[in-house]
Amino acid sequence: MNPQHTGEHPQRRETAAVAASGSFVDQDSYPVHARAYLEVSQAVKERGLMRRAPLFYWGVGAALLLAFGGCIAAFVLVGQSWFQLLIAAALGLLFTQAAFIAHEAAHRQILSFGPANDRLAKLLTGSLGLSYSWWNSKHSRHHANPNKAGKDPDIEAGTISFLETDAAKTRGLHRRIAARQGWLFFPLLTLEGLNLHVQSYKHLMSRGRVKGRWMELSMITARFACLLIPLLLLLPLGMAFAFIGVQLAVFGVYMGASFAPNHKGMPIISPTAKLDFFSKQVRTSRNIKGGWWATALLGGLNYQVEHHLFPSMARNHLAQTQQIVRAYCQEHNVPYTETTLAESYAIVVQYLNRVGIAARDPFDCPTAAQFGRR
């Protein structure tokens, strides 16, 4: 029987097995699909799905500008009221939506002329207070080797450990966090917005060569000045700081909750494995069900499999491309992972808790550690 037509996704069983064992996946675990990408990409091109969609992005951009204008008008009209925190939350949401556009521009999805996309991406990331050179380098390495240990910067050790070997090395407070990191993941995302700004400045102030360093520093500093000066002039100090805190928290949670479902909890590829392009992109990526509303909410990241196969594809062509890719996967028994957003979050939390077991006291009961002592 074709496993794609059974009640359970084979990719989910595989992911659970890999996560539970703490082992890596190597090339021997997967059959080679050397011609898969060629066949799928040919079908995609024949349907004209690689063409740019400037009108679509003009519409999205216009809607965002109107929403930002509404927030500015509301900020002035509301005055010194704690209702300002609602405006701060709205800005956090809009900044994330703008980040989706910046992400697409960096992938050259929007404009026909490549360098124009790059300039747009730099302008948008700078206006969000982020370093384009830092983010683009990190994201390009991720796309080249998704979920590959030692290659994908998105699974490098940090506050959260994505590999058991990293969790086992943690000490002190970091170890206590890692031991329960699945439950702490979403609360920690409230700090992710601040972390993105800090990492951007650290990159731009580093000693190594940074292309466009002073231009990016100028843009980011001007952005913070444009945001902070009106707050400090028009709001009481405490309210201004609360506004900043809410905006950063919403931005961090929305960003993290949009990108986390894509690969977290999917198989981790061995550092020495050499997989064909189609296999490493499809098998390490997870799509989110939901159609148009998920596309609007997640900026097209809900079609993560298709985005990784065709990173320069416009957002509004991904749904049609999914039909082609999924049909190929079903025909050739390639696991194609797609879950609801809620299921993806549950998988991420469960996976991080499994990894975090390596950071717990070996004499603790794992079940008691997971649910807490009573």
pLDDT reported for residue 29 = 59
Average pLDDT, the chain: 90
Q: Give tens-digit pLDDT for 118-172.
A: 999 999 999 999 999 999 999 999 999 999 999 999 999 999 999 999 999 999 9
Give the DSSP H/E element, type plus range, for residue 224. Answer: helix 213-234
Q: Give tens-digit pLDDT for 13-34.
A: 444 444 444 457 665 556 667 7
Residue with tokens 């996560």: 19
Distance CA 284, CA 328 (A): 17
Q: Give tens-digit pLDDT for 109-131.
A: 999 888 999 999 999 999 999 99
In this structure, are residues 204 and 213 in contact, taking their beta carbons and an 8 Å threshold?
yes
pTM recorded for the entire structure:
0.88
pLDDT at 190 over 70: yes
Residue with tokens 């909410």: 297
pLDDT at 371 over 50: no
Rg (CA), the chain: 22
pLDDT at 365 over 70: no
361 pLDDT band (50/70/90 cuts)?
low
In sequence order, the 6+-apart residues with CB closer than 8 A to the CB of 181 are 160, 161, 167, 188, 352, 353, 355, 356, 359
